[in-house]
Amino acid sequence: MIPGPVDVDADVLQALSGPVPGHLDAGFIATFGRALKRLREVSLAPGAQPFVVSGSGTLAMELAVANLIEPGDRALVVNTGYFSDRMAHILERHGAKVTHVRAASVGSAPDVAQVEAELRGGGFKLMTVTHVDTSTAVLAPVEPLVKAARQHGVLAVVDGVCATAGEAFHQDAWGADVYLTASQKAVGVPPGLALLTVSPRAIAAWKARKAPVASVYADWAEWLPIMEAYEAGKPAYFATPPTSLVCALDVSLGQILAEGMEARFERHRRMARAFRAAWSALGLKLVPTSEDVAANTLSAVYYPDGVDASLVGRVKAQGVAIAGGLHPEIKPRYFRVGHMNRVSPGDVLVTVGAIERALHAAGHRTATAGTAVAAAQAALSG
């Protein structure tokens, strides 16, 4: 129950266990082509160009920035924490002049009106938003932010690493230009794939570049013909794709689409509500400052008075893996629980039970053992 890598379905694992396919093998070409089509559907972006490249989420971030930014371009970072800072770091390395709109405090989301005011000031080529910041479990108000960028002719890049296929996102309808993610979270595949869906507007902006992209491996010019060829059922080679992982991705994306995007978003909301009911019953405070900015893919929860980071080990001793803090300002003061991909009512109850017992062992006791499990159960039954 850590916020990635997540528990992977048996059929997805099975896809990894066969003979390693060659990248020019006819069966693999068909599988890769289908996975690309499925990725487009998962992003709800029928008009977008999908990219699947060997690497982690950080490469997905760099694949967006390296192609859209030229030295001197201005970029607006809607900053919710650790991974927004990482995006700014990548933007600066590629020569962007970065302006931040920061949340008022750790755990709150930046103000949409403040972002709009910056956009009105003009001059930005690109805006980035972290859909769910994994360090704070803050869910950014992505829809109004992306729409505001669109209105001002600014490219909108959304980091969906801790959100894609878990949090509601409608790339085409909202007008986002890049939705980027990685395989190991709500997409339900082991780590190793950087995934992007890119709007025709962003492709046009890339084509209009004056200077070539500084990195060969990150250059869409290398990858675009490969993605187009695989989708057209033709062999192509630039750099060897991680064939087994692509097969696993195809299976997982097929499962995600079979569940249905709206049903999947709703299941994540339901599980998150049940976890929040449990945190409340335990008298615990969340890092997100209000319910409307609390993510549905993970929880970030402060330790109660008298309990420290040793709780993570105590929960492990109860049979469930959770994670410690990550945001540098509050790192030792909170824990994180991932609830994405296959997360079920059973996972919620087992996890809440383990945390309640571990808290009990650490001296933080509810009036009646099982209070938090009962609260989660009531939320799941409601």
**Residues that bind ligand PMP in the complex, under the rule CB under 6 A:** 4, 56-58, 83, 130, 133-134, 159, 161-162, 182
Which residue, 134 or 171, has its beta carbon nearer to ligand PMP? 134
Which residue, 82 or 152, has its beta carbon nearer to ligand PMP? 82
DSSP state of 293: G
CA distance 358 to 155: 46
Residue of minimal Cβ distance to ligand PMP: 57
Residue 18 neighbours by CB under 8 Å, 6+ apart: 244, 247
Q: How far is the CB of 314 from ligand PMP (least distance, A)?
A: 24
Beta strands of 161-294 (E only): which ranges? 178-182, 193-198
Q: How far is the CB of 159 from ligand PMP (least distance, A)?
A: 5
**Which is nearest to 351 in space by CA: 325, 380, 308?**
380
Decide if 46 contacts 38 (C-beta within 8 A). Answer: no
Which residue, 161 or 271, has its beta carbon nearer to ligand PMP? 161
Residue 222 neighbours by CB under 8 Å, 6+ apart: 216, 238, 239
Dihedral angle, C-alpha 122, 66, 40, 135, nearest 10 °: -80
Question: Does 336 carry a binding-site annotation?
Answer: yes
CA distance 284 to 305: 10
Q: How far is the CB of 177 from ligand PMP (least distance, A)?
A: 17
Which residue, 139 or 373, has its beta carbon nearer to ligand PMP? 139
Which residue, 141 or 235, has its beta carbon nearer to ligand PMP? 141
Q: How far is the CB of 43 from ligand PMP (least distance, A)?
A: 16
Which residue, 63 or 202, has its beta carbon nearer to ligand PMP? 63
CA distance 169 to 47: 15
**Residue 127: left (phi > 0), alpha (psi -120 to 50), or beta?**
beta
- Residue stretches of the annotated binding site: 336
- Residue stretches of the annotated binding site for substrate: 336
